[in-house]
Structure 1
Amino acid sequence: MGSGGAGPVADLSDRDLLALHVAGDDQAFAELFRRHKDRMWAVALRTVRDPELAADCVQDGFIAAFRRADSFRGDAAVTTWLHRIVVNACLDRLRRRRPTAELPEYELADRHDHHASTEVRLDIQEALAALPEGQRAALVLVDMHAVPVAEAALILGVAEGTIKSRCARGRAALAQHLGLTPGARPVEAH
Structure 2
Amino acid sequence: MSDDDVALFAEAAKGDITSFDTLVRRHTAKLYRVALRILGDPADAEDVVQDAWVSAWRSMGQFRGESAPTTWLYRVVTNAALAQIRRRRPTVPLEPEGQAESSFADSGPTPEQAALRREKVDAVLHAIALLEPSQRVPLVLRELEGMSYEEVAAVLEVSVPALRSRLHRARVALLAKLEELR
TM-score, normalised with respect to structure 2 = 0.76
**Corresponding residue for residue 4 of structure 1:** none
Deviations 1:110-150, CA, capped at 9 Å, x for gaps: 6749589659845862x435533211111111122222211
**Residue type of the partner of 2:157?**
G
**Corresponding residue for residue 172 of structure 1:** 172
8 Å contact from structure 1 (residues 124, 178) kept in 2: no
Q: 4+ residue runs of structure 1 moved beyond 6 angstroms?
A: none
**Residue type of the partner of 2:15?**
G
Structure 2 Cα separation of the partners of residues 80 and 153 of structure 1: 10
- How far is the alpha carbon of 1:68 from its aligned partner? 0.5
The 5-angstrom pairing of residues 69-80 of structure 1 reads 69-80=60-71
Structure 2 Cα separation of the partners of residues 13 and 113 of structure 1: 39
Deviations 1:166-190, CA, capped at 9 Å, x for gaps: 111111122233339xxxxx9xxxx
Q: Say whether 1:49 aligns with 2:40.
A: yes
In percent, how many aligned pairs have the same letter? 38
- Root-mean-square deviation (CA), in Å? 3.2
Structure 1: stretches of 5+ with no match in the other structure: 1-10, 181-185
Structure 2 Cα separation of the partners of residues 67 and 57 of structure 1: 15
**Corresponding residue for residue 139 of structure 2:** 139
Deviations 1:31-81, CA, capped at 9 Å, x for gaps: 221221222122222222322221111101110000001111111111111
8 Å contact from structure 1 (residues 138, 152) kept in 2: yes
The alignment covers a number of residue pairs equal to 170
8 Å contact from structure 2 (residues 135, 169) kept in 1: yes
TM-score, normalised with respect to structure 1 = 0.73
The 5-angstrom pairing of residues 115-154 of structure 1 reads 118=119, 121=122, 125=126, 127-154=127-154
**Corresponding residue for residue 87 of structure 1:** 78
Q: Say whether 1:39 aligns with 2:30.
A: yes
What secondary structure, in the 3-state scheme, does the structure 2 residue paired with 1:168 have? helix
8 Å contact from structure 2 (residues 55, 76) kept in 1: yes
**Corresponding residue for residue 7 of structure 1:** none
Larger Rg: 1
Relative contact order: is structure 1 or structure 2 higher (C-alpha 8 Å, sep ≥ 6)?
Answer: 2
Would you tell me which structure has more helix in proportion to its own residues?
A: 2
What secondary structure, in the 3-state scheme, does the structure 2 residue paired with 1:146 have? coil
What secondary structure, in the 3-state scheme, does the structure 2 residue paired with 1:34 have? helix
